[in-house]
């Protein structure tokens, strides 16, 4: 993949991490995203990161 210097980039990332008592229990998703973010920063990109926490309206999805 070719990266252009100083471009604007929107990252849609799955950063929903388990939190208990205001502490992150598993940061593996955050850690795995760092190489991508670091690469874009090295290329002097402007980055907007989009994510969410939890399921919409607090509902869980079941697969049948």
Mean pLDDT of 24-39: 92
Question: CA torsion 34→46→2→16, rounded to 10°?
Answer: 40
Q: What was the pLDDT predicted at 9? A: 93
Q: What is the pTM (predicted TM-score) of this model?
A: 0.70
Q: What was the pLDDT predicted at 8? A: 94
Between CA 2 and CA 29 the distance in angstroms is 24
For the stretch 3-6, contacts whose Cβ atoms lie closer than 8 Å and that sit 24 or more positions apart, written own/partner, are: 3/39, 3/40, 3/43, 3/45, 4/43, 5/43, 5/44, 5/45, 6/43, 6/44, 6/45, 6/46
Residue 16 has pLDDT above 70, yes or no: yes
Q: What was the pLDDT predicted at 53? A: 73
Q: What was the pLDDT predicted at 19? A: 85
| The two three-digit tokens of residue 5, written as one number | 């210097």
């Amino acid at each position: 993949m070719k990266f252009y210097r100083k471009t604007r980039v929107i990252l849609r990332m799955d950063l929903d991490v388990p939190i208990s008592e205001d502490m992150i229990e598993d940061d593996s998703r955050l850690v795995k995203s760092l190489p991508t973010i670091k690469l874009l920063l090295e290329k002097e990109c402007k980055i907007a990161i989009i994510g969410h926490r939890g399921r919409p309206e607090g509902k869980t999805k079941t697969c049948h």
